[in-house]
Amino acid sequence: MSGVVENVNDENYEDFTQSPSAIVAYGIAACEPCMAYDPILVTAAQDHTNIRFGKAKMHVPGKCRAIKKQHNFETYPTTHFFSNGTLLETKEGKLESAELTALIAQHFSRNI
């Protein structure tokens, strides 16, 4: 894995979520909590290079239509934790660094 936050869209979503350990943050450009969450995701990705981190930019026309049909988003950012295609947990709102780290440990302890 790379230690960076990857762009996730309809084209790579299924492959991305099929990873043994994957975290996807869904956000929109005008969302202040989404912007504040970005550096937290970057740091977590750098600290956990064996977990895939991705961001789905839901505001980009035509890039996340299938994702929107598959999930019902009421709040941005929303974070999904996946393992081998299985959605393990959904967290709405911006996660603080300590909370994200605790959720990583809870769901992916074998990978940290």
Q: pLDDT value at position 3?
A: 83
Asked if residue 61 has a cis previous peptide bond (ω within 30° of 0), the answer is no
Q: Mean pLDDT throughout 2-6?
A: 88
The token pair that represents 24 in the structure block = 């996807």
pLDDT at 2 over 80: no
Q: pLDDT value at position 90?
A: 97
User: What domains appear along the chain, each with residue ranges and CATH number?
Assistant: 5-111 (3.40.30.10)
Q: Is the pTM of this model over 0.75?
A: yes
pLDDT, tens digit, for every residue of 16-66? 999 999 999 999 999 999 999 999 999 999 999 999 999 999 999 999 999
Indicate the SS3 state at residue 105: helix
Strand order in the sheet with 22-27: 5-8, 52-57, 22-27, 78-83, 86-92
Indicate the SS3 state at residue 41: helix
